Amino acid sequence: MITGVWRFSKGLKCLTQAMLTMLLVISLTGCETFVESTKDIVSALPDLPPRVDETPIEPNWVQVTGYAPISLQEGQTQQHKVLMAMKASKLDAYRELTALVHGQYLAGTTSVKDMVLKNNQFQGAVAGIVRGARVVKSYPVQTDVYATILEIDLNQVQRAWQASQ
């Protein structure tokens, strides 16, 4: 009887070892399948888009000039009129720059009576936001006009517009 128990115990030990070996083989086979399936998934992914060339673009500076008369400004002293003309010339330059960047809206009417032109009118308007402009120079022209020169990089304007889209 001891021999039978000993054989049963030895058989159980062999069976356990065989099951562990089989379990180990199955688990390793599963890992290989996982690795292979991961490779298949990665190879099936679409290619990444080509890297965008980040080479800096040369600036494309444009300049505009705004003008304002000094003597027509409201102010109690000549210095105050000059300050108001400085501000007005800067705003005029921004208006010119806005027309350059965003375009200008024109509306007009023409009246003809008996094949004779009687009235011909038009108006212009600009609207838009301008960022990145800088004052190059603000100076008096002769004695009664003030001028301001603004500049902006059109490539920077284009990049900002593309980033907002």
Is 53 among the domain residues? no
* 70 and 41 share one domain: no
Q: Which long-range contacts (CB under 8 A, 24 or more apart) does 71-79 make?
A: 71/144
The half-sphere exposure of 13 on its side-chain side, counting CA atoms within 13 A, is: 6
- pLDDT tens string 92-116: 999 999 999 888 888 999 999 998 9
Please report which confidence band the pLDDT of residue 61 belongs to, taking 50, 70 and 90 as the band edges. Answer: very high
* 34 and 86 share one domain: no
Is residue 76 helix, strand or coil?
A: coil
Is 54 among the domain residues? no
Name the pTM for this structure. 0.61
* 107 and 145 share one domain: yes
Q: What residues have CB less than 8 Å from 157, skipping those under 6 apart?
A: 101, 132
Number of domains in the chain: 2
Is residue 108 helix, strand or coil?
A: strand
